[in-house]
Amino acid sequence: MSREQKAVDRARKAFSTGRSKPLEYRLQQLKSLRRLFVERQKDIADAMMKDLRKSEFSTPLYETMGLEGEIDLAVSHLKEWAAPRPVAKNLMTISDQVYVQPEPLGVVLIIGAWNYPWAVTIQPLIGAMAAGNAAVVKPSEVSAHTAKVMEELLPLYVDKELYPVVTGGVAETQELLKQRFDHIFYTGNSVVGKVVMEAASRHLTPVTLELGGKSPCYIDKNCNISIACRRIAWGKFTNCGQTCIAPDYILCDPSIQDLVVEEIRQNVKEFYTENPKTCPDYGRIVNQRHYRRVMSMLDGCTVAVGGDGDESDCYIAPTVLCDVKPDAKVMQEEIFGPLLPILTVGSVDKAIDFINQREKPLALYIYSHDSKLIKRFISETSSGGVVANDCLVQFSVSALPFGGVGNSGMGAYHGKHTFDQLSHLRGCLIKQLKMEGVNKLRYPPHTAKKLGWARFLILKQVDLGQMKRLAMLAIFAVIAAAVYQRFLQ
């Protein structure tokens, strides 16, 4: 039996004991997980520095603070999330208990990504824990130092049988995908996403796929271009461009392209100094293979800002490309690096057409003062999410579902959305063995009269507010009848 199979079997046996289901145990595990990020900040930050050159300040800002917030949210609302959820009834079932009961799925496989290795691996784990599942955690081998720290630290804080960590590369991931899970949660690219989905289909396992894509960024020529470019520069060059929801390319009117370039140039200088290579807040490409992949995208492009790199240091300067053609190499796949292409379009119609002719992105950004224009982009395009006049910040809002559509993924998470995604929302109806007379409408022999009554009772939906009003009317009717009977006496 392989190491991977043993980990899955241990997790399933641990889940079968039922210990992950009581709310008290889930809360205890969540609170203990939170202590990890408080007590082991230095270990986490040191590993992130080695993997991606993330500074001591950027690691909590972009990785662990959000996880602490997610845990706090789950702890505060777990009782509410896990409670039965009453639903509307029809008149035929008005006296029955009808509700949705969230229940654990079982054993979840979480395959993390290397660019934000804590954030995108542990967020699903928080939801899995809150929902009462067991979970096998597979951190990305690309962020090797972080994977090692996760493997060492997680068992010290949470149930190591319910939540084992399996490290390794492609072979280990393939072995895990041979096992049967009750849900698979994968963050990464669409090529591997298809492999995950194919493997899951052998066991009819549901999947959540967070896949990214080329997120467009439209700048209206009449907006505050200075502020727009400042926010775009921050979103694009954070983590050296290795962010799944980073602005992948800019669409703008030809008349403002030079201004956009100049504004971003000034922002890069302000954020990362004249020499970003020596700036502690500017990261690195994760490895030399990805360095060569990103640098190859410069072929055939006009560099307006940056463009230089150092393979030995995995450094690529914040780079802006102008007058980019739609068929350029840099436009054929998600960049996942600090290259920002600018494509000019002569109208809003052409910008929308350009977006719609391509795969649906994980995020769509528009910068404009015109609320009607913003609404038009929302109504006439499709993407995992939309943000107007900013970028990246949607990831920090737990109340918003975070996920893709089409080629950018399926399923959504964050906050209660993770809990629901990793729960089975079980429909429950509890009827009493009495009032059998009402059921005669459904029993043979069938007649037109019975059908008429059944149509009325079944098709008449009663929401919770109506139920309360009907209950009050029923009580009033009983009281009135009692008073009337007393009067007759």
- Cβ atoms of residues 302 and 322 within 8 Å: yes
The whole-angstrom separation of Cα 127 and Cα 145 is 25
Return the DSSP state at 413.
B
Q: Which two tokens stand for residue 444?
A: 């043979």
Contact yes or no for 407/190 (Cβ under 8 A): yes
Per-residue HEC secondary structure of 286-328 comes to: CCHHHHHHHHHCCCCCEEEECCCEEHHHCEECCEEEECCCCCC
SS3 107: strand
Count of helix runs (H) and strand runs (E) in the chain:
18, 19
Q: Smallest Cα–Cα separation from 109: which of 142, 138, 67?
A: 138
For the beta carbon of residue 474, count every other beta carbon within 10 angstroms: 11
Total length of the chain: 489
How many CB atoms within 10 Å of residue 41?
14
What is the spatial distance between Cα 7 and Cα 135, in angstroms, rounded to a whole number? Answer: 10
CB 242 within 8 A of CB 301: no
Catalytic-role residue among 244, 252, 301, 322:
244
- Please identify which of the residues 210, 240, 263, 334 carries the catalytic annotation: 210
Q: What are phi and psi of 87, to 5 degrees?
A: -130, 170
What's 347-377 look like in SS3? Answer: CHHHHHHHHHCCCCCCEEEEECCCHHHHHHH
210 is catalytic: yes
Catalytic residues, which ones? 210, 244
